[in-house]
A and B are shown apart, each in its own frame.
Chain A
């Protein structure tokens, strides 16, 4: 077991417009990509955000060694309950997840 942040070279979360969040897991090489692609289930990521798995879009991009998730923003950007205008800190939730 290891934290995703230690397996990936970079995990980035960004707004994809005010209503969507997108998270890019840059794995760096094919071995890390395979490990993340197989070891990180969509259900697991959905649970971190406490949303149903079907609200997530998932892309396993072997050419780039990237696993990408997009989801409706947990809070719409800039609303009273939003805590993170640029959506950048949600990446930490993924960084601290342990996978095989």
Chain B
């Protein structure tokens, strides 16, 4: 018998999953249902604004299914990085959805919220005390950087999830956590092999991604004293030693090492064995303890953007699009400086040629001439109204600018009116650091509520 059975319904709440596979997983007596709610992969705006990427309606629908599955299984349901970014606001957003659903489903449950949000003053103090350390590739950080962040979160590990589970919670809504923590926590609490707990958690963090049919979502992982066994729950999906071992490559800069709060996982000695045509057993993974620290993420506003799209179909303009754009940028920059009094260093005008090199920019190696080019103009300025104003100064050029002086005035295609669209704030990630903490719970807050008890 496995010591701990973890059911992972899907790689992320909002991505969907195979309902029959989830039902099968619930029937197989899991000890916990664990699902991820986010990642940095969709960019800094979600943390910057503290909002979810997925729609409330989709999140509610899937969370409803999981709340029903939890009630049937009679085990805790835990979500990590709730609401894409795991900010306090998105934890509360999912909590509010949970309250609605508990009332709708007539469930009386204990809900623990684990908050990962960090206060500016405490982070500034930690920086001054030397408790914040840059990771490889991190940007320069000073107190100003920290104070400029709209939101800072710390990534909780297994210890904080364990603390939330220890409250006897039926549902744990966690803010930012590592992808693996929600899966590793219970096996570690019950004394399973630590290397297996973290390795199995990494393999399971994206649901069925480490199988032959990722879209099915649902998998189960059994943890014990020596290793773990992973099996997908949809009949169309299979786990093989290849699909399982290859998952350490995924979104990981080092395929053998995975850093977590309080240590790292080393899979160099891991052995992968097919125990059926669809399940894989893994042993030999090692957990290496280190000083306790948690990773930090922060996002700040880096200006405001306005964009427009102009379509070039005339062959001569398509062939000379870059020259045309550079000419416009030069003329418009001059006008912005004289008409708006904005110093040239304070704003940026970029024109990307969709169809030519918008994806790779200067690294593009292709040379084919396309039928048409979409000119994506991106203006970045310190204030929103300045960005829109600059986009408007650009407008007459985008509509009529001629390659040469002696040709009839051309007119180009605009798909939209107004031609320019304000994108609002441009956010950027500005922390890639760790925070040392002796008490793993010190940077986090736990709030427990009895829900649906009238």
Contact = CB atoms under 8 A, between A and B. Distances in A.
B284 interface: no
B251 A16 contact: yes
Interface in A62-78: 63-64, 66, 68, 70, 72-74, 76-78
Nearest to A63: B245
Interface in B356-372: 358-363, 365-366
Given A19-B138, A19-B432, A96-B365, A64 B245 contact: yes
Contact of B360 (A17, A61, A70, A92): A92
Interface stretch (B23-31, B38-46, B402-410): B38-46
Contacts of A50: 362-363
A17 to B, nearest CB: 6
A38 interface: no
B92 interface: no
Contacts of B429: 18-19, 76-78
Interface residues of B, number: 43
Among B138, B305, B427, B429, the most chain A Cβ lie within 10 Å of the Cβ of B429
B41 A59 contact: no
B106 interface: no
A17 B432 contact: yes
Given A64-B249, A89-B359, A80 B254 contact: no
Contacts of A92: 359-360
Contacts of B426: 80
Contacts of B363: 48-50, 74, 90, 93
A18 B365 contact: no
B54 interface: no
B246 interface: yes
Among B251, B305, B362, the most chain A Cβ lie within 10 Å of the Cβ of B251
A22 interface: yes
A12 B139 CA distance: 26
A77 B40 CA distance: 9
A76 B252 contact: no
Given A18-B432, A93-B363, A80 B348 contact: yes
Interface in B222-259: 242, 245-246, 249-256
A29 B44 CA distance: 38
Contacts of B253: 16-17, 20, 22, 57, 70
B303 interface: yes
A77 B426 CA distance: 12
A68 B249 contact: yes
A78 B303 contact: no
B137 A77 contact: no
A18 to B, nearest CB: 4
B361 A24 contact: no
B380 interface: yes
B249 A66 contact: yes
B408 to A, nearest CB: 35
Interface string B331-355: 0000000000000000010101000
25 contacts: A14-B250, A15-B40, A15-B251, A16-B251, A19-B137, A20-B253, A24-B249, A61-B249, A61-B255, A66-B249, A68-B249, A72-B136, A74-B363, A77-B429, A78-B43, A78-B428, A79-B302, A79-B428, A80-B305, A80-B350, A80-B378, A83-B352, A86-B42, A90-B363, A93-B365
Which 6 A-B residue pairings sit nearest by Cβ, starting from the closest?
Answer: A70-B253, A78-B43, A16-B253, A19-B137, A78-B44, A18-B429
Interface of B: 40-45, 135-139, 242, 245-246, 249-256, 302-303, 305, 348, 350, 352, 358-363, 365-366, 378, 380, 426-429, 432
